[in-house]
Amino acid sequence: MASRPPSLTFFLVVLVAAALYMPQAFSTSRTPLMNHRSSKTPVRLGLKRVDEGGNFTRLELLQRAIKRGKNRLERLSAMVKKTSTTDQVIQTAVQPGEGDFLIHLDIGTPPVNFDAIMDTGSDLIWTQCKPCIDCYQQSTPILDPNTSSSFSKLSCSSKFCEALSTSLCADDGCEYLYAYGDSSSTQGVMATETLTFGGKTTFPNIAFGCGEDNEGDGFKQAQGLVGLGRGPLSLVSQLGYGKFAYCLGSIDSSSSSLVLGSSPSLDKTSDSVLATPLSQNPSQQTFYYISLEGITVGDTLLPISKTTFTIKEDGSGGMIVDSGTTLTYLEESGYKLVKKAFISGIKLPVSDIDAGLDLCFDMPNEADIEVPKLIFHFSGADLNLPTENYLMYDSSMGLLCLMMGPSSGLSVFGNVQQQNFLILHDLDKETMSFVPHQCD
């Protein structure tokens, strides 16, 4: 039986010491720590929405996702927020938890089912493990390292352990903590395991967190999390494919997918690709930042300052593309101009009904009305969004709502705005591309 992992307080003491005396303890290298690129075969995985099969209306699905998204926005913002020195140290441990999409895979030998949150906003792969000191209930068996022939603990000197922002060297190897900004956290031992996708494509020696103490409400829709961020511990970095893409169906659709690696279907989309460079934020290596240079509503390019969505010297600001945040959240000054333009452009009364969205219009009967177009001007790519990617009509409440909201500092391009686009991440070329595609 393993001993109980060190407490959160103990880990924070270790983290403070690491931040003060070993500022390079967190690896910012983007070179894969283990390269599986010799396997050229792409892997295609189906994605499942966390509320799928819950018998919710489209508006209810959106409202539930918005609640998750607001919590997630706070966590994402905390990761890059810089205040006092003490706050900086504590916030280096914050990682986003909740998400909207699940990946189905297997872990261990023999394989155990593992439904994981797909998270482009974090790096660590982790699942619940026996012996559970504190685990939440899950529908599938919890991984038992003692029964898996491919399980191997990582030493404290391993590159994977060194890449963690918070780790502790124990007698039996490397221990980790990921705290998620509220009461949610996972801690346990770092190890390597075999991951199996689609029941047939196998990748050995993938570094992951074997979580023996997992607390909070952020993960209960899954058995753990698969990080797809830009850091060295993420799945895409460890596999070293160089490309991955996902295609997200509408919020009430069950058709979404993830492709790891390059495939002919991706390579043939060059004629319709809208590509924009990925930006770098020295303060936050994990996120996928892109440069938003302006927004057009209707026929008007809004008078938004060019610095509104830029990454500031202290690491705040900027815009990230995130699969786990539902709505697009814009820095408040920019959002106010977007909101004003929609109020002016949609000839309907603004509703006072609280539907969970910031701006809704009274529309008792579905009718043909003229709505403004919405274009996001990214560096090198003008993304003209389909109407259903930013406006939603609910007949039961007689509301037409804008699926966007304000934020303070960090802006996020959410998954509702990404729906029915192939979102291609080319890590070799450092670009992100938007390809119109009917994911449904």
* Active-site residue set: 119, 322
Residue 207 CB neighbours (<10 A): 24
Whole-number CA gyration radius for the chain: 22
Q: Cβ(225)–Cβ(124) under 8 Å?
A: yes
- Provide φ and ψ at 336, rounded to 5°: -60, -40
Distances (CA, A) of 63 to 60, 247, 356, 412: 5, 22, 6, 18
| Tokens (6 digits) for 385 | 């969004």
**Gap between the Cα atoms of 191 and 209, Å rounded:** 6
Q: Are 224 and 117 in contact (CB under 8 A)?
A: yes
In our burial notation (b when 16+ CB lie closer than 10 A, e otherwise), range 40-74 reads eebbebebbbbbeeeebeebbbbebbbebbbbbbb
In sign, the C-alpha dihedral spanning 256, 257, 258, 264 is negative
Q: Which of 219, 209, 238, 413 is nearest to 323 (CA)?
A: 413
Q: How far is CA 274 from CA 120, 140, 247, 280, 418, in A?
A: 20, 40, 15, 19, 13
Owner of token pair 């009274």: 362
Please state whether beta strands 328-331 and 404-407 pair in parallel, antiparallel, or not at all (unpaired).
Answer: parallel
Closest CA to 32 of 160, 132, 216: 160
Give the count of beta carbons closer than 10 Å to the beta carbon of residue 210.
27
State whether the Cα torsion 316-373-416-429 is positive or negative.
negative
What distance in Å separates the CA atoms of residue 379 and residue 106, rounded to the nearest whole number? Answer: 39
23 CB-contact burial (10 Å; exposed 0-12 / middle 13-18 / buried 19+) = exposed
